[in-house]
């Protein structure tokens, strides 16, 4: 049977055993809808988690790769200090290359502030050295100490001051995504518990008849549990597929700038949302079962 036919059959038919509970159309349709809506939201929460995870890694990566050393010294000492700094850098492990920016490059950087015609020689502009890391990078504190000793005018700017809050923000976003997933699961459990409890209460007379003809609690609960679990599964499949299609149709946001990563899945991550429907069914199973056993204990 094709998956689609299978889902349809779940939506329409009950097995012989489940027929002992009358069609609880209303409640069950609401369950289907809620499960679909929750799965849809879960896909987005999952996508958010994935995207922010990638973002944190990338910010960590790209920004950590480069840093700047600024040398402020009287014009007479500038060249000597620059050379001293480059020497220190060339013997520092974890540094791939270090290069003093040329006057032209520095002028370009300053142009927005001072205009194009400015001659650097006339201004006490610090010399900039661009440092590119390799491997696990260098130890910024060690480097700072060495620079302090040998190049008094040098200041190391390893970008960590403004990189860290960005990474922290990405990590909090990711945590938010995870929390949303948990909340969605909890809400789903709560809704299914309410729906199942309502269905059981509405069928007190049916339950009484079933008991009179020799049905055990597990049997009666099973009829309700199967019904709600299958509907939650079906709703989950529908909602997840809809969510995945919606994310596929999102315009890609990673063309410019590099900071914005598209909300979405990459490669193998597309498998992840497929876990949502079975997970939803598991939640529904335990929620309905607990609700049923509790209600049955209460009904004599």
Partner 1 sequence: MIELDNMAYSYGGGELLSGVSLHLQPGAFHFLTGPSGAGKTTFLRLCYGDLTATAGAVRLFGQDVRDLSRDDLAVMRRRIGVVHQDCQFLDHLPLHENIALPLTVSGQASFDDSNLRELIQWVGLSHRARALPPELSGGERQRAALARAIIMSPDVILADEPTGNVDWEMSQRLLTLLIELNRLGKTVLIATHDLALIRAAKSQVQARVLRIANRKLQFAGADL
Give contact residues for partner 1 (rule: CB under 8 A).
16-17, 19-20, 22-23, 206, 208-219
What is the nearest approach in angstroms of partner 1 to the Cβ of residue 205? 9
Closest CA to 32 of 8, 65, 15: 8
Whose Cβ is closer to partner 1: residue 109's or residue 202's? 202
Whose Cβ is closer to partner 1: residue 1's or residue 213's? 213
What is the CA 236 to chain-centroid distance, rounded? 20
Count Cβ atoms below 10 Å from residue 153 Cβ, excluding itself.
Answer: 19
What is the nearest approach in angstroms of partner 1 to the Cβ of residue 288? 19
* Sign of CA pseudo-dihedral 242, 245, 251, 252: positive
What is the nearest approach in angstroms of partner 1 to the Cβ of residue 296? 8
What is the nearest approach in angstroms of partner 1 to the Cβ of residue 295? 13
What is the nearest approach in angstroms of partner 1 to the Cβ of residue 197? 19
First to last CA, the chain: 42
What is the nearest approach in angstroms of partner 1 to the Cβ of residue 293? 11
Q: Is the distance from CB of 292 to CB of 228 less than 8 angstroms?
A: no
Q: Which residues pair with 130 in a beta bridge?
A: 68, 99
Whose Cβ is closer to partner 1: residue 109's or residue 209's? 209
Query: The tokens of 201 are what?
Result: 């209460």
* Sign of CA pseudo-dihedral 172, 178, 181, 186: negative
Whose Cβ is closer to partner 1: residue 102's or residue 216's? 216
Whose Cβ is closer to partner 1: residue 172's or residue 216's? 216
Whose Cβ is closer to partner 1: residue 222's or residue 243's? 222
Whose Cβ is closer to partner 1: residue 210's or residue 244's? 210
Q: Is the distance from CB of 90 to CB of 161 less than 8 angstroms?
A: no
Closest CA to 62 of 162, 155, 157, 163: 163
Give CA–CA dist 43/51, Å, rounded: 12
Closest CA to 247 of 286, 273, 212: 273
What is the nearest approach in angstroms of partner 1 to the Cβ of residue 202? 12
């Amino acid at each position: 049977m094709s998956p689609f036919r299978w889902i349809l059959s779940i939506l329409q038919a009950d097995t012989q055993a489940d027929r002992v509970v009358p069609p609880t159309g209303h409640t069950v349709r609401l369950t289907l809808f809620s499960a679909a809506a929750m799965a849809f939201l879960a896909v987005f929460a999952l996508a958010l988690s994935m995207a922010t995870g990638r973002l944190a890694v990338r910010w960590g990566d790209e920004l950590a790769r480069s840093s700047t050393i600024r040398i402020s010294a009287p014009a007479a000492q500038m060249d000597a200090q620059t050379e001293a700094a480059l020497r220190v850098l060339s013997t520092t492990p974890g540094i791939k290359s270090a290069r003093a920016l040329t006057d032209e490059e520095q002028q370009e950087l300053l142009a927005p502030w001072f205009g194009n015609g400015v001659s650097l020689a006339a201004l006490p502009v610090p010399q900039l050295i661009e440092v590119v890391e390799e491997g696990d990078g260098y130890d910024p504190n060690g480097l700072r100490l060495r620079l302090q000793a040998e190049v008094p005018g040098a200041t190391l700017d390893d970008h960590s001051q403004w990189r860290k809050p960005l990474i922290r923000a990405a990590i909090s976003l990711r945590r938010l995504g995870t929390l949303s997933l948990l909340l969605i699961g909890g809400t789903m459990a709560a809704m299914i518990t309410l729906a199942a409890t309502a269905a059981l209460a509405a069928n007190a007379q049916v339950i009484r008849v079933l008991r009179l003809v020799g049905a055990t609690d597990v049997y009666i609960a099973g009829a309700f549990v199967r019904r709600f679990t299958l509907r939650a599964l079906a709703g989950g499949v529908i909602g997840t597929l809809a969510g995945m299609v919606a994310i596929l149709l999102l315009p890609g946001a990673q063309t410019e700038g590099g900071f914005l990563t598209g909300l979405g899945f990459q490669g193998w991550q597309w498998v992840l949302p497929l876990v949502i429907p079975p997970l939803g069914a598991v939640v529904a199973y335990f929620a309905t079962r607990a609700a049923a056993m509790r209600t049955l204990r209460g009904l004599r």
